[in-house]
Chain A
Amino acid sequence: MHPAFSIIFFTTAAGAGYGLLFLLGLLAPSGALPDSRPFAIAALVLGLGLVTAGLLASMAHLGRPERAWRALSQWRSSWLSREGVASVLTYMPALVLALSWGWLGSEGRVTLVAGVLTAVGAVATVICTGMIYASLKTIHQWHNAWVVPNYMAIGLMIGAVFLNALMHPWGGGSPEFDVAVALIIAATILLKEGYWTFIETRPAQSTPESATGLGRIGPTRFLESPHSEDNYLIKEMGFSLGRKHSTRLRTLSRVLGFGVPLVATALAALAPVIATPLTVLAALSIAIGMPIERWLFFAEAKHTVQLYYGAQRV
């Protein structure tokens, strides 16, 4: 699949924003976060900013962005519509949380209710995002049980790393929280490796033989293209990533997106004196590494339609 910048930015940034809002929603009422208005405002602006920037970027992907509001109507059947509804609904408790905790500094009942609802909305929205991809039977690399857990874990992981990088400068960090963040990163690594192993080892069901029905004659090969120039189908769904590039980019994403954040966060727990630079390093590294991971999620996805254009497997 063609890795469109707008969608890569949207799924990464909004996922991270919802991960951060999820943590803020649950931790703010409990008093576990630094008691500081600048911290609260910085964290909320980052969370809501990532979500808002992501949603705006997703609209840039549309052919008719001015009609985007129509996407809220078909939530009965469409995961994309459900995602839209969930994201709009999540703004309501998130803005209440921002007022009661960020503005008034309250840890009372309003903050608690708004926080829990924000966390629920964040989880629901990210599930919908994952399901948009996981529900597409046409793309083997997306239509599997690894996709939604990965979307959830990666959103939570980036949110946790960003939150940790904010907490230490405000004196609110702790080795215990560093360990919790490191465990989240480690669990996410297992899920991502599980996904990569799955797409490497489990072949898609469809073949050129089933796509054309000519399997009844014998092994089927693509002989002649229907058109000499690339059409929409090839430009949008014919993206093909070379093996060498795939390996290199996976290494880059493993190192920057997972390895460096894990090691830096673990070191921060061991050496609290330099925890601030280490957790900021983890956040910067993950901010570069995760878009590479998301780029690969699209670039390594092979649409079934490629079987009509010469692919022997998808």
Chain B
Amino acid sequence: MTSLPTPTANAKKLGLVVDLDLCVGCHACAVACKEWNSGGHMAPLTDLEPYGRDPDGVWFNRIHTFEADADDQHIGCGTSRTTHFPKSCLHCETPDCVTVCPTGASYKRAEDGIVLVNEDLCIGCKLCSWACPYGAREFDQDVGVMKKCTLCIDRIYNKNLEEVDRVPACVMVCPVSARHFGDLGDPDSNVSALVRERDGYDLMPEMGYKPVNKYLPPRPKKVMPVAIEGGRRELEVSNDNALLNWVDRLLSR
């Protein structure tokens, strides 16, 4: 059923909090995600021509890099901020990727809010990927169905793993702890506290999808602009050497 579950007051909202202040853009989360999920719930994450001319494969996690100016008043060297920006499924509370699905393959779990695809029902119409503004869904053209982040559903509830490892692969691997996993529906959880303290925000709130995942902004930094002089500087030649002056005149003719 692709209608969204009726929201309840104390419903669990499992999700991630990504700290953009800490992320160093190492892509370890993307690689760990690919490694785990290649054998996980949504397996395989098909790679076509992985060593060929035009490699193409399914990934659930991508790290983009953006540059934002510190402020318009201090244009110059040293004012802009480079921010590495990991992006995966935000497990939105009211996502259209679920409701547009014609077959019931795309669904949101009532018990923890995780958005999943039932690969046995998916007809590969790709409409859910069109409905996602974040680019969280990638089509597996080899299997002919849509694939997406499962929030490592096969890790977080996996009794075979040590309790400390029952977190998504991307969270487990992050060398700077820029990724946090928890219940954003519980105001007392570690992730909810982080969002409160650090002014965590939604991506594209104007879409109205109410993402569960939150982003913590880079902390403000003191801006020390270095002025860049305008205009092209001419190389000034002042030389008493008669020969060089003659060559200069000759070349300047």
Contact = CB atoms under 8 A, between A and B. Distances in A.
Contacts of B1: 74
A71 B125 contact: yes
A71 B144 contact: no
A233 B82 CA distance: 24
Given A74-B2, A210-B205, A138 B67 contact: no
Contact of A213 (B69, B105, B215): B215
A217 B132 contact: no
A74 B102 contact: yes
A197 interface: no
B177 interface: no
Contact of B2 (A67, A78, A232, A305): A78
Given A136-B130, A138-B130, A229-B55, A214 B125 contact: no
A297 interface: no
B123 A68 contact: yes
A137 interface: yes
A171 interface: no
B99 A137 contact: no
Contacts of B135: 233, 237, 305, 308
A308 B123 contact: no
Contact of A216 (B124, B139, B217): B217
Interface stretch (B35-43, B58-66, B226-234): B58-66
Contacts of B208: 137
Given A64-B122, A206-B204, A223 B2 contact: no
Nearest to B97: A138
B67 A213 contact: no
A78 B101 contact: yes
Given A63-B141, A70-B103, A135-B100, A223 B67 contact: yes
B129 to A, nearest CB: 7
A212 B129 CA distance: 19
B109 to A, nearest CB: 16
Interface of A is mostly: mixed
B204 A210 contact: yes
B99 A138 contact: no
Interface in B9-68: 20, 25, 27, 30, 54-59, 62-68
B101 to A, nearest CB: 6
Contact of B69 (A72, A217, A231, A236): A217
B40 to A, nearest CB: 19
B139 A304 contact: no
Interface stretch (A22-30, A46-54, A79-87): A79-87
Contacts of A225: 64
A174 interface: no
A63 B139 contact: yes
Contacts of A227: 59, 62
B104 interface: yes
B3 A221 contact: no
A220 B87 contact: no
A303 B136 CA distance: 13
A219 interface: yes
A73 interface: yes
A65 B215 CA distance: 39
A220 B67 contact: yes
From B30, B133, B141, B203, name the one whose CB has the most chain A CB atoms within 10 angstroms: B133
A70 B123 contact: yes
6 A-B pairs with least C-beta separation: A63-B124, A63-B144, A218-B69, A81-B102, A224-B65, A305-B135
10 contacts: A62-B144, A70-B103, A80-B127, A206-B207, A214-B66, A214-B218, A217-B70, A229-B56, A236-B139, A304-B207
